[in-house]
């Protein structure tokens, strides 16, 4: 077996130090690379800290001003017509006329169609005549006739009383003979033969007759003292007393009749020869008394009726009668009006499904009206819906109509939410107040609802408000520091009046906004992320921010905050209008002239943050 000899000779060592280091680096590439990176980063950080230590801090400054806090809720939805209605007939009949055409604009109350109102017109005219007769003043002839009727009714009533007192003596004499005569059917001599039931009945009848006899004596004396020419009040009293007498006599006859009937049936051996005569007489007397009662009642009723008629003519119809007839007339008018079908609201006629001479019933659709009033229907989540209330103003824009911002008012907020996949939403209806023919049902829209607005309050940018526990505070710079910093940064040769004008504009930023550039070491630059100006929320006007470079430390001011919106916060105490506040601290060295170079500065050619160096004294970005 052949073998190959292995060499044990090591490579020759480098002959110099550089060679040995090069060989060592090649042998430990990873460790060497890590050491190099750490040294580079450490060197950069040391350099950056040294450079930053020599840069003066720079702040973005705004001014506390009076403005408006406006809180809003946004939503999107669609346009729809508030009203769309099928107008139906409430009556049946022949369509006599169609007064509109499809596409025609109608106002509330405009006549759409007419159903033949012939029968309803007759009913209305009858009701009008009846009402007119009721409320018409009395004629002289009618008054005379009514007065004569009253006089005649009293005369007739006296005659009725006289007739009664012609009949009553026969009845009273007959009862007395039957109860107390020597041979009376119920006399004391006969009554001893009545049984224990009939005898008490006979005694009660006798007592009732005694009372009637006494009353008869009084009333007949009253009658004999009057004539047909007596006062109507006296005749009224006589009628009443006569009626009461007849009622008492009628009761006496009835009780006597009951006793006779009981005895003739239950005691057939009780004077049977006289029983038939007694029954016949009592039936006759009962008929006479009842007839006289009816005549007296009729006489009283006639007097009352004629007197009421006379009073009606003299004073006018009774109030209740007039009201009743008014209701009847009103019902006839309303029924007649149903034959004339009118537009219930302003709108466009969408369709007319009937024709002239066609038949209509109580449910026939005569026309469809689409209302003029447009509404926006949107859906809000439960958080936003809780802030919305009826009556709040709304700004509305439309996807299909460029440049149009309509106004509206919240008209309805649903009280019951809709749950969709666990998310609760509430419908909101908004009345669109702007009238524009370009706004059509179905269009998409976007709304901004102003839920709360506070005008003329002290506001600052919300980004300036800081917190420490429960304490809210602002970092401020006094006016002298800002003026000094601005003056120091004005390039040589700039007129003092120009600086003064710029400062005044900045302090009055609620009225006019000024454009301000920051400078470092006399060179105009653009500060990364520091805008020259921006517009505040609502009607608060433009809110200007200024980049101020100063070594003076900011002053901390504790404040009390009120409401806020998306941009600004209300300050209720601790701050005064016109004070300079720091909205943010710009990173040291953020200007091009003082920025430390980045290890990646060679890539892309720009500094971090997008700040580009400018030359020739011109601010970058202009």
Tens digit of each residue's pLDDT (9 = 90 or more) over 122-151 = 999 999 999 998 888 777 787 888 888 999
Least confident of 35-39, 148-152, 226-230, 455-459: 35-39
Q: Are 171 and 285 in contact (CB under 8 A)?
A: yes
List beta partners, residue 473: 466, 558
pLDDT value of position 588: 54
Least confident of 88-92, 149-153, 541-545, 579-583: 541-545
Mean pLDDT of 488-496: 55
Query: What would the pLDDT profile of 8-22 be if each residue is shown by its tens digit?
Result: 445 555 556 667 777
From CA 238, how far away is CA 242, in angstroms rounded? 6
Least confident of 2-6, 93-97, 363-367, 417-421: 2-6
pTM of the entire structure?
0.46
From CA 461, how far away is CA 179, in angstroms rounded? 120
Reply yes or no on whether the pLDDT at 153 is more than 50. yes
Mean pLDDT of 361-379: 90
Mean pLDDT of 326-343: 95
Q: Are 186 and 260 in contact (CB under 8 A)?
A: yes
Reply yes or no on whether the pLDDT at 414 is more than 90. yes
Q: Smallest Cα–Cα separation from 363: which of 91, 117, 61, 64? A: 91
Q: Are 468 and 508 in contact (CB under 8 A)?
A: no
User: From residue 530, how far is each of 306, 512, 517, 527, 593 by CA, in Å?
Assistant: 104, 19, 10, 5, 16
Considering just the CA atoms, what is the radius of gyration of the chain in Å? 58
Give, rounded to a whole angstrom, the gap between the first and last alpha carbons of the chain: 89
List beta partners, residue 430: 376, 410
* Two structure tokens written together for 53: 């230590």
Instruction: For residue 106, give the 3-state DSSP assignment.
Output: strand
Mean pLDDT of 385-408: 94
pLDDT value of position 48: 67
Reply yes or no on whether the pLDDT at 399 is more than 90. yes
Mean pLDDT of 504-524: 39
Reply yes or no on whether the pLDDT at 613 is more than 50. no
From CA 339, how far away is CA 277, in angstroms rounded? 74
Chain CA centroid to CA 169, Å? 80
Reply yes or no on whether the pLDDT at 496 is more than 70. no
Mean pLDDT of 23-52: 75
From CA 285, how far away is CA 177, in angstroms rounded? 13
Chain CA centroid to CA 394, Å? 18
Mean pLDDT of 494-513: 45
List beta partners, residue 78: 377, 444
pLDDT value of position 93: 93
Q: How confident is the model at residue 53 (pLDDT cuts 50, 70, 90)?
A: low
Q: Residue count of the chain, please give it.
A: 622
Residues 166, 170, 175, 180, CA torsion sign = positive
- As a 3-state breakdown, the chain gives helix, strand, coil percent values, each rounded to 5, of 40, 25, 30
User: From residue 162, how far is each of 59, 249, 352, 372 by CA, in Å?
Assistant: 125, 16, 78, 82
Q: How confident is the model at residue 518 (pLDDT cuts 50, 70, 90)?
A: very low
Least confident of 20-24, 403-407, 415-419, 590-594: 590-594
User: From residue 395, how far is each of 437, 443, 461, 563 by CA, in Å?
Assistant: 18, 16, 24, 21
Q: Is 211 left (phi over 0), alpha (psi -120 to 50) or beta?
A: alpha
Give the DSSP H/E element, type plus range, for residue 273.
helix 272-315
pLDDT value of position 51: 58
From CA 188, how far away is CA 182, in angstroms rounded? 8
Pairing assessment for the beta strands 65-81 and 374-381 based on DSSP bridges = antiparallel
**Non-local CB neighbours of 585 within 8 Å, separated by 6+ positions:** 57, 58, 59, 60
Reply yes or no on whether the pLDDT at 611 is more than 80. no
Q: How confident is the model at residue 486 (pLDDT cuts 50, 70, 90)?
A: confident
Q: How confident is the model at residue 77 (pLDDT cuts 50, 70, 90)?
A: very high
b/e per residue 66-79 (b: at least 16 CB within 10 A): ebbbbbbbebebeb
Mean pLDDT of 247-268: 93
> What is the residue-averaged pLDDT of the chain?
82
Can you give 499-520 as a three-state secondary structure string?
Answer: HHHHHHHHHCCCCCCCCCCEEE
Least confident of 41-50, 181-190, 346-355, 519-528: 519-528
Position with higher pLDDT, 4 vs 128: 128
Query: What would the pLDDT profile of 209-248 be if each residue is shown by its tens digit?
Result: 999 999 999 999 999 999 999 999 999 999 999 999 999 9
Query: What would the pLDDT profile of 280-328 be if each residue is shown by its tens digit?
Result: 999 999 999 999 999 999 999 999 999 988 887 778 777 888 899 999 9
Chain CA centroid to CA 341, Å? 29
**Non-local CB neighbours of 232 within 8 Å, separated by 6+ positions:** 150, 154
* Two structure tokens written together for 521: 């070491």
Reply yes or no on whether the pLDDT at 596 is more than 90. no
Q: How confident is the model at residue 604 (pLDDT cuts 50, 70, 90)?
A: very low
Give the DSSP H/E element, type plus range, for residue 428.
strand 423-432
From CA 113, how far away is CA 355, in angstroms rounded? 9
């Amino acid at each position: 077996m052949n073998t190959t000899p292995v060499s044990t000779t090591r490579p020759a060592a480098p002959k110099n130090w550089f060679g040995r280091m090069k060989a060592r680096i090649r042998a430990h590439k990873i460790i060497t690379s890590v050491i190099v990176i750490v040294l580079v980063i450490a060197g950069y950080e040391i350099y950056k800290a040294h450079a930053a230590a020599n840069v003066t801090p720079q702040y973005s400054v705004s001014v506390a001003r009076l403005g408006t806090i406006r809180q809003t809720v946004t939503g999107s939805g669609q346009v729809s017509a508030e009203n769309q209605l099928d107008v139906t007939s409430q009556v049946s009949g022949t369509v006599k006329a169609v007064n509109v055409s499809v596409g025609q604009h109608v106002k509330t109350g405009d006549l759409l169609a007419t159903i033949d109102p012939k029968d309803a017109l007759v009913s209305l005219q009858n009701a009008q005549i009846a009402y007119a007769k009721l409320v018409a003043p009395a004629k002289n002839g009618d008054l005379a006739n009514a007065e004569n009727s009253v006089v005649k009714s009293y005369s007739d009533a006296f005659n009725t009383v006289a007739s009664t007192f012609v009949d009553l003596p026969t009845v009273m004499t007959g009862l007395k003979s039957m109860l107390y005569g020597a041979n009376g059917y119920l006399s004391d001599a006969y009554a001893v033969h009545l049984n224990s039931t009939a005898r008490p009945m006979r005694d009660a009848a006798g007592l009732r007759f005694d009372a009637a006899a006494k009353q008869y004596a009084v009333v007949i004396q009253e009658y004999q003292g009057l004539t047909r020419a007596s006062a109507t009040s006296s005749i009224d009293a006589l009628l009443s007393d006569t009626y009461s007498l007849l009622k008492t006599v009628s009761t006496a006859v009835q009780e006597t009749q009951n006793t006779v009937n009981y005895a003739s049936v239950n005691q057939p051996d009780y004077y049977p020869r006289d029983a038939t005569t007694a029954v016949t007489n009592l039936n006759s007397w009962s008929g006479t008394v009842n007839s006289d009662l009816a005549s007296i009642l009729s006489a009283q009723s006639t007097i009352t009726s004629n007197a009421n008629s006379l009073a009606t003519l003299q004073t006018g119809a009774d109030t209740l009668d007039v009201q009743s007839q008014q209701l009847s007339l009103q019902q006839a008018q309303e029924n007649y009006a149903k034959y004339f079908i009118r537009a219930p609201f302003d709108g466009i006629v969408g369709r007319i499904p009937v024709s002239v001479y066609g038949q209509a019933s109580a449910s026939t659709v005569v026309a469809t009206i689409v209302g003029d009033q447009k509404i926006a229907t949107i859906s809000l989540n439960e958080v936003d819906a809780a802030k919305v209330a009826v009556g709040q103003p709304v700004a509305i824009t439309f996807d299909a109509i460029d440049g149009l911002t309509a106004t509206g008012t919240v008209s309805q907020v649903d009280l019951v939410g809709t749950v969709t996949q666990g998310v609760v939403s509430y419908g909101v209806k908004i009345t669109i107040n702007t009238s524009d023919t370009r706004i059509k049902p179905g269009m998409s829209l976007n709304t901004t609802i102003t839920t709360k607005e506070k005008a003329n309050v002290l506001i600052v940018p919300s980004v300036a408000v800081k917190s420490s526990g429960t304490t809210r505070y602002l970092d401020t710079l006094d006016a002298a520091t800002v003026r000094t910093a601005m003056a120091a940064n004005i390039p040589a040769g700039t007129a003092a009046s120009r600086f003064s004008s710029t400062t005044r504009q900045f302090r009055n930023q609620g009225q006019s906004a000024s454009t301000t550039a920051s400078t470092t070491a006399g060179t105009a630059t653009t500060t990364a992320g520091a805008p020259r100006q921006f517009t505040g929320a609502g009607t608060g006007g433009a809110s200007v921010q200024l980049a101020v470079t100063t070594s003076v430390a900011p002053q901390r001011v504790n404040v009390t905050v009120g409401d806020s919106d998306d941009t600004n916060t209300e300050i209720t105490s601790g701050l005064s209008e016109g004070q300079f506040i720091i909205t943010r601290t710009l990173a040291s060295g953020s200007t091009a002239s003082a920025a430390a170079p980045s290890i990646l500065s060679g890539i892309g050619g720009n500094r971090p943050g997008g700040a580009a160096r400018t030359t020739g004294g011109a601010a970058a970005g202009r």
